[in-house]
Amino acid sequence: MVEITVNGATRQVDVEGDTPLLWVLRDTLGLTGTKYGCGVAQCGACTVLVDGAAMRSCQVPVDSVAGQKITTIEAVEADPVGARLVAAWVALDVPQCGYCQSGQLMAATALLKDTPKPSEADIVAAMTNLCRCGTYNMIAAGIRQAADAA
Amino acid sequence: MTRLDDALAALQGNEPLNLSRRATLLAGFGGGLLLALGIPQRPARAQAMGGLAHARKVPSYLTIRPDGRILLQNPFAEGGQGIHTAVAQIVAEELDADLAAFEVQTAAAGPDYQVLFNGTRRVTGGSFSIRNSFAHFRVLGATARAMLLAAGARRLGVPAAELGTEPGFVVHAASGRRIPYGELAEEAAALPVPGDAQPKAGAWRLIGTPASRLDTRAKSTGQAQYGIDMRVDGMLQAAVVHAPRAGAEPGEVLNEAALREMPGVHSVHRLPGAVAVLADSFWRARKAVEAAEVAWTALSGEPVVPEDFSSAGMRDALRTQADAPGNPASDMQGDAATALRDAAKVVTADYDAPYLAHAQLEPPSATVRFNADGTLDVWTPNQAPEAFQGIAARESGLAAEQVRIHTPLLGGFFGRHFTYGSIHPMNQAIRLARAVGKPVKVIWTREEEFSRDAYRPMGFARLRAGLDAAGRIIALHATVPGEGPVAKHFGAARMGNPPVDSSAVEGVAFKPYAIPNRRVEWVHVAHPVNVGFWRSVGHSMNDFFYEAFLDEVADAAGADPLAFRRAHLAGQPRHLALLDAVVDLSGGWRRGPFEAADGTRRARGLAMASPFGSEVATVAEVSLRDGEAVVHDLFVAIDPGSIVNPAIIKAQVESAACIGLSSAAFEEVVFEGGRPQQRNFDTYRILMRGEMPKVHVRIVESGAPMGGVGEPGTPGVPPAVANAIAVLTGRRIRSLPFARHRLGQA
């Protein structure tokens, strides 16, 4: 049994300690907004915030984040930065298939919380998540719009 | 599918989504709790018109709830191309409703949704959807509006002719009375479906506007539900490993007893070409199946990919057939062989392109449940519900009518989710669910997906062009050895006589240039590995072969590539206008090399393509850095004839351009020893944020018959970039991807 804090709620999960956080979120807690894409921390679809830092949950053993604050896409709007990003995403119609966008938004939230007015280079450095639909330019536009709205 | 109920449920608690609860809610949407427009269904007058066979079957498509929300059953699957929004936009126009009032889902398998091929079939693919259903949905919307008007006339006791509509309301102007559609839906449902309602003749309110997408918010808050997110009560989860080489069979699982002792494991199963472990979670199933020690055999009776099969060997096999006589494509003209012999100058070159993975970000999955009433529910990403229904029926031993295929949102598809043979999560899930008597969800890991994709085929072309003394092309002879998905999966039945695989030659054949003697031949060389449709299919490589070669021919003629193309398009005003558009969009043609404001040395390349009924002209602006191409800008002019939603079109063109650039620059699946060497994104490189160029799109509405949108942006990008690289380096890249070559001196 591992105790973790997800979106402000403390949860006991009956899994092996080396289970990736991704699968605890998806299968044990039913928080399917966090996506599986590669399982090897390449694509970023599984990105969540752990104590405010963007982490690829497919490579995070659940017992390593006991006691830390985990935030998933389901609670992104509870954070004012996340809410501004979601508003920008909606205003600009950023997503296409949408599958990577949970991870993109979590990575963008971590970026703006750390760097409220990011340069293009900041965005390139922070936003390494893959998007097969090629929404990269719209994602960057969304980040800039959310930054400007602050 | 924007499932508001799910969104609310998930926001309110962290409990797993419960499918039986969802099913109840959705059933209510179309059933007794809510008033459905058009129930009971009345037989519509038989429609002889080709594209309108199902256009007046309002009850099959539309449900208007008392609160005015409109549920639309879309024959097409939504995978990012915006089809749920675009179809709703057409219906909303003619129904005279707010677009935001719509909720759209992909319709279940059934005859009323066969909106393609004269009302006989449907797929989501081929960039078919809007261009082939535009008239259908206009008539559908107009028919539903006529029903609401008739109901309004009865309610108000006035002639229908005195009534009009405003978005969402039937309006009696003379008395100022307005009735919301939601209040008339039940009455309208009781009326006969009119057979003569006509679409608007006047100006459009919605069609042609950049209306917002319906699913953006759900996709921006983690609430959008994909196939992989499906959960049904009591289900087990399965992970599979396939044979190292396709076609082999599992013999014994040597450590089966040990696997069954692992946490959460339910059972171990042998499947055709794979081993599966069922467990109470996907991770536990995966850990166990990846620990399986399997003795693989070649006893399946299916051909096993040979141990010595390799990409390099396949390329050689194609090359050896490049002078073989083949079957000519249908746009043959004149006598290319004689004209080549008589030409003042001949240019010959070989081009090739590698196997590609679809690399849609959502790995394949299937969830299946056998029900007590003998029916089967299947949730799986698919582009062809009826085809999947037929396969599921065969696999389960049920009648097709007993199988419900649910098509969730697709986390990308690009051609991945057609039926490409029996190695598929759905087939596996059906067998497993039968075996254990419980619902089963199968997920393929990324590694399994990359090893059992239906790859974009490796392609090859030998191109020969003859110039006359004036520098005009008088002959073009191309030989395309290989095999596309049409030959692979449909065989001779779809290839005409003599048989030609259009999916292998399109983009080398069917080009618009005026060349008096031309011949494109196809030589069938089968791929030992599975191949499939990949965004823009044959065009994804053939337009690279042709348009890059065309620049070589222009160079041989001493001509500028733009002027050379114009000279061979003199009788083609649509193409000339498109060239003008892309030149204007890019601020005037300059081939370069030139120095940009940031000090980089840049050049531009140009290419044209005629894919899926649309015309496209592309200009790429490129520099070199550290031996790789840096693409700064892509300028794309597209003429799809006429349009529905310019914002979605621009997004699709940008998306298609991105995948085109990604494929040309980085992507290849390399086979060695009969196995793909790329099993995940760490080795299968796709384009990232830092490599994404600015994409400038201009839509030209020539008024030509409506063309496709989802794929046409792809084929022009690889040759446009390659042509710019050649200007910078003086060297032609004839083999993709660019990453295989170190470019320039820098």
State the nearest Cα–Cα gap between B154 and chain A, in angstroms. 41
Strands B473-482 and B403-406: unpaired
> Is the CATH code 3.30.980.10 the one for domain B321-355+456-740?
no
Residue A133 is part of a domain; what is its CATH number?
A: 1.10.150.120
Residue of A96, A100, A124 to mutate, testing the B interface (most B Cβ within 10 Å of its Cβ): A96
B374: closest CA of chain A, how far (Å): 28
The percentage of residues in chain A with a pLDDT greater than 70, rounded to a whole number, is 100
Q: Do A82 and A66 share a structural domain?
A: no
Interchain contact, A95 vs B220, CB within 8 Å:
yes
Please count the other Cβ atoms lying within 10 Å of the Cβ belonging to residue B315. Answer: 18
CB < 8 Å to A40, chain B: 446, 680-682
Confirm if B109 and B385 have CB atoms less than 8 A apart: yes
Let me know if the fold of B4-220 is the same as that of B227-302+364-443: yes
| Residue numbers in chain B where pLDDT is lower than 70 | 1-50, 745-746
Looking at the structure, tell me whether residues A29 and A46 fall in a common domain.
Answer: yes
State pLDDT tens for residues B576-585. Answer: 999 999 999 9
Whole-model pTM: value is 0.93
- CATH topology for the B227-302+364-443 domain: Aldehyde Oxidoreductase; domain 4 (3.30.365)
Q: Whole-angstrom Cα distance, residue A85 to residue B341?
A: 64
Residue B522 and residue B511: Cα distance in Å, rounded? 16
Instruction: Return d(Cα B410, Cα B228) in angstroms, integer.
Output: 9
Shared domain for A91 and A52, answered yes or no, is no
Contacts of B711 in chain A (CB under 8 A): none
- Kindly list the distances between the CA atom of residue A8 and the CA atoms of A11, A17, B13, B155, in Å, as whole numbers in the listed order: 10, 21, 11, 53
Say if residue A31 is in the same domain as residue A90: no
Its sign, for the CA torsion B199, B204, B210, B214, is: negative
Q: Which residue of B has its CA nearest to A86?
A: B220
A104 in the same domain as A47 = no
Domain total in chain A: 2
CA of B107 vs chain A CAs: smallest distance (Å): 18
Residue A14's CB: how many other CB atoms inside 10 A?
A: 9
Co-location of A29 and A55 in the same domain: yes
Considering only the beta carbons, identify the residue of A86, A93, A99 that sits closest to B412.
Answer: A99
**Shared domain check, A81 and A62:** no
A2 interaction partners in chain B (CB closer than 8 Å)? none
Q: B700, B583 in Cβ contact below 8 A?
A: no
Which amino acid, B632? Answer: H
Question: B4-220: what CATH class?
Answer: alpha beta
Calculate the alpha carbon distances from A87 to A83, A93, B83, B140, B217 in Å: 6, 10, 23, 34, 9
Task: Give pLDDT, residue B493.
Answer: 78
Whether residue A61 sits in one domain with residue A20: yes
Cα–Cα distance, B234 to B251 (Å, whole number):
30
Best of B12, B85, B213, B220 to mutate (most A CBs within 10 Å, chain A): B220
Q: What phi and psi, each to the nearest 5 degrees, are found at residue B550?
A: -60, -40
Which amino acid makes up residue B56?
Answer: R
Domain containing residue A142: 76-149
| Full DSSP string of B24-38 | HHHHHHHSTTSPPTT
- Short-list B327, B356, B386, CA closest to B529: B356
Q: Which of B85, B213, B221, B683 to mutate to test the interface with A (most CBs of A within 10 A)?
A: B221
Cβ of A31 within 8 Å of Cβ of B217? The answer is no
Would residue B86 be called left, alpha or beta, if left means φ above 0 and alpha means ψ between -120 and 50 degrees?
A: alpha
What CATH number should be reported for the domain holding residue A32?
3.10.20.30
Distance from the Cα of A98 to chain B's closest Cα (Å) equals 5
**Which residue in the set B79, B359, B688 is minimally distant from A128, CB to CB?**
B688
Shared domain for A71 and A8, answered yes or no, is yes
Indicate the pLDDT class of residue A17, thresholds 50, 70 and 90.
very high
| Domain edge (last residue) among A75, A91, A110 | A75
Cβ–Cβ below 8 Å for B361 and A130: yes
CB pairs under 8 A between A and B: 187
| CB-nearest partner of A137 from B213, B359, B654 | B654
Verify that A50 and A115 share a domain, yes or no. no
Contact between A132 and B359 using a beta-carbon 8 Å cutoff: yes
Mutate: best of A1, A136, A143, A144, partner B, most B CBs <10 A? A136
Residue contact A90–B79, C-beta within 8 A: no
Is B736 within 8 Å of B678 (Cβ atoms)?
no
Are residues A94 and A37 both part of a single domain? no
Neighbouring residues of A131: CB distance < 8 A, sequence distance ≥ 6: A100, A104, A139, B361, B689
Q: Are residues A67 and A80 in the same domain?
A: no
Contacts of B221 in chain A (CB under 8 A): 33, 73-74, 76-77, 86
pLDDT computed for residue B745 by the predictor: 64
Say yes or no for a CB contact (<8 Å) between B281 and A15.
Answer: yes
CB < 8 Å to B14, chain A: 6-7, 9, 11, 29-31
Domains of chain B, by residue range, sit at: 4-220, 227-302+364-443, 321-355+456-740
CA distance linking residue A49 with residue B418, whole number of Å? 36
Q: Classify B1 as helix, strand or coil.
A: coil
DSSP string, A24-72: IIIIIS--TTS--S-SSSSS-TTEEEETTEEEEGGG-BGGGSTTSEEE-
